[in-house]
Amino acid sequence: MRPVVFVVPGTLRSLTGGYLYNQRIIDGLRELGWPVEVLTLDSSFPRPTRDALASADRLLAGVPDAAILVVDSLALGAMPDLVEREADRQSVVGLMHLPLTAALGLDPKEEAAFGASEGKALHATSRVVVTGRAAVPLLARYGLPEDLIAVVTPGVDPVDVARGTARAEGGDGAPVHLLTVGTLNREKGHEYLMRALGSVTSKNWRLTCVGSLQRDRATVTRVRALVRQHDLDLRVTFTGELEGQALADAFNRADVYVSASLRETYGMAVAEALARGLPVVGTATGATRELVGADAGVIVPPGDEWALSDALEHIIGNADLRADLADGALDVRDRLAPWTETVAAFAAVLDALPH
């Protein structure tokens, strides 16, 4: 097995879907016997400082010839010249969670700059791995050969079925506990969610928002303002990041999982919810519609707060509907692929690289 070097900005232990995916692949490859190292770049990527690029230059130059470089999408398109240089002596795999040009809120000048640099880097790769089929059309602008792209979607761990709160407390009068998991940023749609909940006539619900409050302070400020504007302070809780047992407990208390995302390439948290038998109210982004299907939840267009509000109104006010959708989620749970399959698929991509 050839040595594999993962190149990631910031800390690998960051609690985002992309970094969790990276960590699971790295751990899984090591369990299969692959020699895997991690090169940590400066956290200023994908907008690296001059010093950050100089440091990346030195780190990459120290990687031995004939290694496999797996470069996270936050770094790949921000250092195209270095990627081209390394591709002359190594196999470079672009690990695309989301193209840089697909981030919401880019001004036209930055979007064009990212497009030029990301395209240059992608054309130097030996293979591109995307973590969801929804990422494939986002790469169409670069004119990559079809056989260059491999789709390797996330897996799930075996977990217990969520106990729920309304069911545990019994009776239709118990508050319905909603859960959403994801960094509070523009892409995750928390602003639409708060406006949608502000229009729900029932007050018999509680929402727990799990996710970082530090990465996008402007969005957090707007979301908190909407909570105050719609008088939701007593029903909405922000926990910040959770992991391990604390995150498992949050899922276990939930009756319904909600995803208001505006852009996803897969939807790892939705899959995690379904693995616990939770019905889902979600937006048609990433693989959410495919994961949820017709029987495990309600899917609405992204950014449509009225459709989201209507879906939430129905599921909060109808215990029979929640029970039926939970049964559907249990059926989906049985079809979800484990992480071992994801790691095996990723390993197969590495195995097939030319030497």
Q: Using one digit for the tens of pLDDT, what is the confidence trace for 128-186? A: 999 999 999 999 999 999 999 999 999 999 999 999 987 666 555 789 999 999 999 99
**Class of the CATH domain delimited by 4-155+338-351:** alpha beta
Q: What is the pLDDT of residues 224-270, one digit of tens each?
A: 999 999 999 999 999 999 999 999 999 999 999 999 999 999 999 99
Q: Is there a shared CATH topology between the 4-155+338-351 domain and the 166-333 domain?
A: yes
- Please state at what angle helix 80-87 crosses helix 108-122, rounded to 10 degrees: 0
Label residue 309 exposed, middle or buried (CB < 10 Å: 0-12, 13-18, 19+): buried
Token pair of 240 as six digits: 């910040």
- Output the pLDDT for position 354: 86
Domain boundaries, the chain: 4-155+338-351, 166-333
Q: What's the pTM value of the predicted model, to 2 decimals?
A: 0.93
What superfamily does domain 166-333 belong to in CATH? Glycogen Phosphorylase B; (3.40.50.2000)
Percent of the chain with pLDDT over 70: 98
Confidence class of residue 218 from pLDDT cuts 50, 70 and 90?
very high
- Output the pLDDT for position 172: 58
Mean pLDDT of all residues belonging to the chain: 95
99, 91, 111: which is closest to 75 by C-alpha? 99
What is the spatial distance between Cα 109 and Cα 116, in angstroms, rounded to a whole number? 11
For residue 243, the tally of other CB atoms under 10 A from its CB is: 11
